Amino acid sequence: MAANMQVNGQDTKQWWKYGYVWLILSGPIAVIIASFITLSLALKTPDPVVDDYYRKGIEINKRLETKELLPAVEGRNHAVTPAEDTQP
* Residue 15 identity (one-letter amino acid): W
Give pLDDT tens digits for 17-45. 899 999 999 999 999 999 999 999 999 98
Predicted TM-score of the model (pTM): 0.45
Give pLDDT tens digits for 59-75. 877 777 666 556 665 55
Measure the CA–CA gap between 45 and 80, rounded to whole angstroms: 44
Q: Where are the domains of the chain?
A: 15-45, 48-80
